Amino acid sequence: MKIRTLLVDDEALARERLRDMLAAEPDLEIIGECADGAEAVTALERDQPDLVFLDVQMPELDGFDVLATARPARPPVVIFTTAYSEHALRAFEVHALDYLLKPFDRERLQVALRRAREHLRLARTEALNEKLNALLAEMRPPTRKVDRLVVKSGNRVVLIRTADVDWIEAADNYVNLHVGAESHLLRETMAALEARLDPRQFLRISRSTIVNLDRVKELQPMFHGDYVVILRNGTRLSLSRSYRDKLQQLLGR
Protein backbone atom coordinates (compact mmCIF):
# COMPACT_ATOMS: atom_id res chain seq x y z
CA MET A 1 0.00 0.00 0.00
CA LYS A 2 1.17 3.52 -0.78
CA ILE A 3 2.03 5.77 2.15
CA ARG A 4 -0.16 8.83 1.58
CA THR A 5 2.04 11.80 2.46
CA LEU A 6 1.30 15.47 3.17
CA LEU A 7 3.96 18.22 3.05
CA VAL A 8 3.44 21.29 5.26
CA ASP A 9 5.88 24.21 5.10
CA ASP A 10 5.37 27.93 4.56
CA GLU A 11 8.51 28.09 2.37
CA ALA A 12 7.92 26.97 -1.22
CA LEU A 13 11.63 26.11 -1.70
CA ALA A 14 11.58 23.86 1.36
CA ARG A 15 8.52 22.01 0.04
CA GLU A 16 10.14 21.67 -3.38
CA ARG A 17 13.37 20.25 -1.93
CA LEU A 18 11.48 17.74 0.20
CA ARG A 19 9.23 16.78 -2.72
CA ASP A 20 12.28 16.16 -4.93
CA MET A 21 13.96 14.00 -2.28
CA LEU A 22 10.80 11.97 -1.70
CA ALA A 23 10.32 11.38 -5.43
CA ALA A 24 12.89 8.58 -5.20
CA GLU A 25 10.69 6.68 -2.70
CA PRO A 26 8.34 4.43 -4.72
CA ASP A 27 6.09 3.57 -1.76
CA LEU A 28 5.30 7.25 -0.99
CA GLU A 29 2.45 9.14 -2.64
CA ILE A 30 2.40 12.90 -2.03
CA ILE A 31 -1.29 13.74 -1.80
CA GLY A 32 -0.94 17.45 -1.06
CA GLU A 33 1.10 20.43 0.06
CA CYS A 34 0.16 23.17 2.52
CA ALA A 35 1.75 26.61 2.87
CA ASP A 36 0.33 27.47 6.30
CA GLY A 37 -1.16 25.96 9.43
CA ALA A 38 -4.79 26.63 8.56
CA GLU A 39 -4.43 24.76 5.27
CA ALA A 40 -2.74 21.93 7.14
CA VAL A 41 -5.61 21.53 9.62
CA THR A 42 -8.10 21.31 6.75
CA ALA A 43 -5.96 18.81 4.82
CA LEU A 44 -5.39 16.59 7.85
CA GLU A 45 -9.10 16.30 8.54
CA ARG A 46 -10.17 16.07 4.89
CA ASP A 47 -7.49 13.87 3.31
CA GLN A 48 -6.49 11.60 6.24
CA PRO A 49 -2.78 11.23 5.28
CA ASP A 50 -0.66 8.40 6.67
CA LEU A 51 2.47 10.53 7.00
CA VAL A 52 2.96 14.28 7.48
CA PHE A 53 6.15 16.32 7.19
CA LEU A 54 5.25 19.31 9.35
CA ASP A 55 7.23 22.54 9.63
CA VAL A 56 7.44 23.86 13.18
CA GLN A 57 7.75 27.59 12.48
CA MET A 58 4.85 28.99 10.45
CA PRO A 59 2.89 32.24 10.82
CA GLU A 60 -0.36 32.25 12.83
CA LEU A 61 -0.66 28.46 13.40
CA ASP A 62 2.72 26.79 13.92
CA GLY A 63 3.29 23.05 13.71
CA PHE A 64 2.38 22.43 17.35
CA ASP A 65 -0.82 24.46 16.96
CA VAL A 66 -1.76 22.38 13.93
CA LEU A 67 -1.56 19.14 15.90
CA ALA A 68 -3.48 20.64 18.81
CA THR A 69 -6.23 21.93 16.48
CA ALA A 70 -6.70 19.21 13.87
CA ARG A 71 -9.04 16.32 14.61
CA PRO A 72 -8.40 13.68 11.94
CA ALA A 73 -10.32 10.43 12.30
CA ARG A 74 -7.01 8.56 12.15
CA PRO A 75 -3.94 10.42 13.48
CA PRO A 76 -1.02 10.32 11.01
CA VAL A 77 2.64 9.68 11.64
CA VAL A 78 4.28 13.10 12.09
CA ILE A 79 7.86 14.05 11.21
CA PHE A 80 8.64 17.64 12.22
CA THR A 81 10.98 19.76 10.11
CA THR A 82 12.71 22.67 11.84
CA ALA A 83 15.82 24.83 11.69
CA TYR A 84 16.08 24.94 15.50
CA SER A 85 17.18 21.99 17.62
CA GLU A 86 15.43 23.33 20.74
CA HIS A 87 12.11 22.33 19.15
CA ALA A 88 13.11 18.66 19.10
CA LEU A 89 12.16 17.82 22.69
CA ARG A 90 8.75 19.45 22.39
CA ALA A 91 8.22 17.59 19.09
CA PHE A 92 8.47 14.27 20.92
CA GLU A 93 6.23 15.55 23.72
CA VAL A 94 3.41 15.92 21.19
CA HIS A 95 3.97 12.41 19.81
CA ALA A 96 5.99 13.25 16.72
CA LEU A 97 7.75 10.14 15.43
CA ASP A 98 10.89 12.05 14.43
CA TYR A 99 12.21 15.47 13.51
CA LEU A 100 14.55 16.71 10.77
CA LEU A 101 16.84 19.68 11.26
CA LYS A 102 17.05 21.96 8.23
CA PRO A 103 18.88 21.74 5.94
CA PHE A 104 18.55 17.95 6.21
CA ASP A 105 20.32 15.49 3.94
CA ARG A 106 19.14 12.32 2.23
CA GLU A 107 20.81 10.04 4.79
CA ARG A 108 18.97 11.64 7.73
CA LEU A 109 15.72 11.56 5.75
CA GLN A 110 16.15 7.83 5.16
CA VAL A 111 16.47 7.25 8.90
CA ALA A 112 13.20 9.07 9.52
CA LEU A 113 11.46 7.22 6.69
CA ARG A 114 12.57 3.83 8.01
CA ARG A 115 11.04 4.67 11.37
CA ALA A 116 7.83 5.89 9.73
CA ARG A 117 7.49 2.75 7.58
CA GLU A 118 7.97 0.46 10.56
CA HIS A 119 5.49 2.42 12.66
CA LEU A 120 2.87 2.29 9.91
CA ARG A 121 3.49 -1.41 9.29
CA LEU A 122 2.91 -2.22 12.94
CA ALA A 123 -0.19 0.00 13.08
CA ARG A 124 -1.69 -1.67 10.01
CA THR A 125 -0.89 -5.14 11.36
CA GLU A 126 -2.54 -4.28 14.67
CA ALA A 127 -5.62 -2.92 12.90
CA LEU A 128 -5.88 -6.07 10.76
CA ASN A 129 -5.50 -8.31 13.82
CA GLU A 130 -8.26 -6.40 15.59
CA LYS A 131 -10.58 -6.90 12.61
CA LEU A 132 -9.78 -10.62 12.46
CA ASN A 133 -10.32 -11.02 16.19
CA ALA A 134 -13.64 -9.20 15.93
CA LEU A 135 -14.71 -11.51 13.10
CA LEU A 136 -13.70 -14.61 15.06
CA ALA A 137 -15.56 -13.31 18.11
CA GLU A 138 -18.73 -12.98 16.04
CA MET A 139 -18.37 -16.55 14.78
CA ARG A 140 -17.79 -18.10 18.20
CA PRO A 141 -20.76 -19.13 20.32
CA PRO A 142 -21.43 -16.69 23.16
CA THR A 143 -19.71 -17.52 26.43
CA ARG A 144 -21.09 -16.84 29.87
CA LYS A 145 -19.46 -13.80 31.43
CA VAL A 146 -17.77 -14.47 34.77
CA ASP A 147 -18.76 -12.62 37.94
CA ARG A 148 -15.76 -13.82 39.99
CA LEU A 149 -12.14 -14.71 39.35
CA VAL A 150 -10.04 -17.38 41.05
CA VAL A 151 -6.47 -16.35 41.91
CA LYS A 152 -3.94 -18.85 43.26
CA SER A 153 -1.31 -17.33 45.55
CA GLY A 154 1.03 -19.87 47.11
CA ASN A 155 -1.14 -22.27 49.08
CA ARG A 156 -4.10 -19.88 49.04
CA VAL A 157 -6.97 -19.59 46.61
CA VAL A 158 -8.52 -16.11 46.51
CA LEU A 159 -11.97 -15.45 45.06
CA ILE A 160 -12.38 -11.94 43.64
CA ARG A 161 -15.70 -10.51 42.51
CA THR A 162 -15.26 -8.86 39.12
CA ALA A 163 -17.40 -5.95 40.33
CA ASP A 164 -14.68 -5.21 42.93
CA VAL A 165 -11.90 -4.90 40.33
CA ASP A 166 -10.96 -1.27 39.60
CA TRP A 167 -8.71 -1.90 36.60
CA ILE A 168 -6.52 -4.55 35.02
CA GLU A 169 -3.07 -4.30 33.48
CA ALA A 170 -1.06 -6.72 31.37
CA ALA A 171 2.04 -8.35 32.91
CA ASP A 172 3.59 -10.68 30.32
CA ASN A 173 1.61 -13.94 30.52
CA TYR A 174 -0.27 -12.67 33.57
CA VAL A 175 -2.72 -9.90 34.30
CA ASN A 176 -2.56 -7.72 37.39
CA LEU A 177 -5.97 -7.20 39.01
CA HIS A 178 -6.14 -3.93 40.94
CA VAL A 179 -8.73 -4.23 43.72
CA GLY A 180 -8.72 -1.23 46.03
CA ALA A 181 -5.31 -1.06 47.72
CA GLU A 182 -4.50 -4.67 46.73
CA SER A 183 -3.30 -6.25 43.52
CA HIS A 184 -3.45 -9.89 42.44
CA LEU A 185 -1.60 -11.69 39.66
CA LEU A 186 -3.77 -13.98 37.55
CA ARG A 187 -2.19 -16.31 34.99
CA GLU A 188 -4.21 -15.36 31.93
CA THR A 189 -3.70 -13.19 28.86
CA MET A 190 -5.46 -9.86 28.43
CA ALA A 191 -7.32 -11.10 25.36
CA ALA A 192 -8.59 -14.23 27.11
CA LEU A 193 -9.71 -12.32 30.20
CA GLU A 194 -11.34 -9.57 28.14
CA ALA A 195 -13.45 -12.21 26.39
CA ARG A 196 -14.69 -13.49 29.75
CA LEU A 197 -15.58 -10.11 31.23
CA ASP A 198 -18.91 -8.37 30.78
CA PRO A 199 -18.36 -5.67 28.09
CA ARG A 200 -21.10 -3.59 29.69
CA GLN A 201 -18.87 -3.21 32.75
CA PHE A 202 -15.29 -3.58 31.50
CA LEU A 203 -13.66 -1.72 28.61
CA ARG A 204 -10.20 -2.16 27.11
CA ILE A 205 -8.66 1.30 26.67
CA SER A 206 -5.16 0.30 25.53
CA ARG A 207 -3.20 -2.82 24.65
CA SER A 208 -2.24 -3.23 28.30
CA THR A 209 -5.22 -1.80 30.23
CA ILE A 210 -8.83 -2.77 30.95
CA VAL A 211 -10.94 -0.50 33.15
CA ASN A 212 -14.09 -1.04 35.19
CA LEU A 213 -16.47 1.58 33.78
CA ASP A 214 -18.14 2.01 37.16
CA ARG A 215 -14.83 3.37 38.51
CA VAL A 216 -14.34 6.06 35.86
CA LYS A 217 -14.69 9.56 37.23
CA GLU A 218 -13.29 11.84 34.52
CA LEU A 219 -11.73 11.99 31.05
CA GLN A 220 -9.10 14.58 30.16
CA PRO A 221 -8.07 15.15 26.52
CA MET A 222 -4.35 15.16 25.74
CA PHE A 223 -2.35 15.85 22.58
CA HIS A 224 -2.99 14.01 19.33
CA GLY A 225 -6.23 12.30 20.28
CA ASP A 226 -5.08 10.59 23.47
CA TYR A 227 -7.05 10.85 26.72
CA VAL A 228 -6.30 10.39 30.41
CA VAL A 229 -8.91 8.27 32.21
CA ILE A 230 -9.13 9.23 35.89
CA LEU A 231 -10.68 6.74 38.29
CA ARG A 232 -12.58 7.59 41.47
CA ASN A 233 -9.58 6.58 43.58
CA GLY A 234 -7.34 9.02 41.68
CA THR A 235 -5.62 6.47 39.45
CA ARG A 236 -4.72 7.94 36.05
CA LEU A 237 -4.78 5.64 33.02
CA SER A 238 -4.08 6.32 29.33
CA LEU A 239 -6.68 5.78 26.61
CA SER A 240 -4.50 5.37 23.52
CA ARG A 241 -5.40 6.79 20.15
CA SER A 242 -5.80 3.33 18.56
CA TYR A 243 -8.64 2.64 21.04
CA ARG A 244 -10.21 6.07 20.59
CA ASP A 245 -13.30 4.57 18.92
CA LYS A 246 -14.16 3.09 22.32
CA LEU A 247 -14.35 6.57 23.82
CA GLN A 248 -18.00 6.77 22.78
CA GLN A 249 -18.72 3.74 24.93
CA LEU A 250 -17.24 5.56 27.92
CA LEU A 251 -19.20 8.73 27.18
CA GLY A 252 -22.42 6.87 26.55
CA ARG A 253 -22.74 5.41 30.02
Q: Would you say residue 180 lies in a domain?
A: yes
* pLDDT bucket at 140, cuts 50 / 70 / 90: low
Q: Are residue 33 and residue 114 in the same domain, yes or no?
A: yes
The helix/strand/coil state of 184 is strand
Q: Are residue 127 and residue 206 in the same domain, yes or no?
A: no
Q: Would you say residue 23 lies in a domain?
A: yes
Residue type, 5: T
Pair 58, 38: CB distance under 8 Å: no
Q: Are residue 20 and residue 130 in the same domain, yes or no?
A: yes
Q: Are residue 72 and residue 159 in the same domain, yes or no?
A: no
12-41 residue pLDDT tens: 999 999 999 999 999 999 999 999 999 999
Q: What is the mean pLDDT of the chain?
A: 85
**CATH number of the domain that 216 lies in?**
2.40.50.1020
Last residue of a domain, one of 77, 102, 136: 136
Q: Are residue 20 and residue 110 in the same domain, yes or no?
A: yes
Q: CB-side exposure of 56: number of CA atoms within 13 Å?
A: 21
Last residue of a domain, one of 136, 165, 184: 136
| pLDDT at res. 137 | 60
Q: Would you say residue 106 lies in a domain?
A: yes
Q: Would you say residue 141 lies in a domain?
A: no
Q: Are residue 200 and residue 78 in the same domain, yes or no?
A: no
Q: Would you say residue 143 lies in a domain?
A: no
Helix intervals (H) in 12-168? 12-22, 37-47, 63-69, 87-93, 106-139
**Closest by Cα among 234, 162, 242, 182 to 208:** 242
Give just the sign of the alpha carbon dihedral 183, 188, 189, 195: negative
Q: Are residue 209 and residue 170 in the same domain, yes or no?
A: yes
Q: CB-side exposure of 138: number of CA atoms within 13 Å?
A: 5
Q: Are residue 11 and residue 119 in the same domain, yes or no?
A: yes
**CATH number of the domain that 121 lies in?**
3.40.50.2300
Q: Specify the number of domains making up the chain.
A: 2
Statement: residue 241 has pLDDT above 80 = no
* Owning domain of residue 85: 3-136
Cα gap 119→222, rounded to integer Å: 21
Q: Would you say residue 142 lies in a domain?
A: no
Last residue of a domain, one of 136, 171, 196: 136
Query: What angle is formed at CA 183 by the lines to CA 177 and CA 189, rounded to 5 degrees?
Result: 30
Q: Would you say residue 87 lies in a domain?
A: yes
| pLDDT at res. 73 | 85
Q: Would you say residue 183 lies in a domain?
A: yes
- For 209, phi and psi rounded to 5 degrees? -140, 135
Q: Are residue 63 and residue 127 in the same domain, yes or no?
A: yes
What's the whole-number mean pLDDT along residues 117-122? 89
144-187 residue pLDDT tens: 678 889 888 777 888 999 999 999 999 888 999 999 999 999 98
Q: Are residue 29 and residue 130 in the same domain, yes or no?
A: yes
Q: Are residue 17 and residue 88 in the same domain, yes or no?
A: yes
Tell me the C-alpha to C-alpha distance, in Å, between residue 238 and each of 146, 197, 222, 234. 25, 20, 10, 13
88-109 residue pLDDT tens: 656 666 567 888 888 888 999 9
Q: Are residue 95 and residue 125 in the same domain, yes or no?
A: yes
Pair 56, 9: CB distance under 8 Å: no
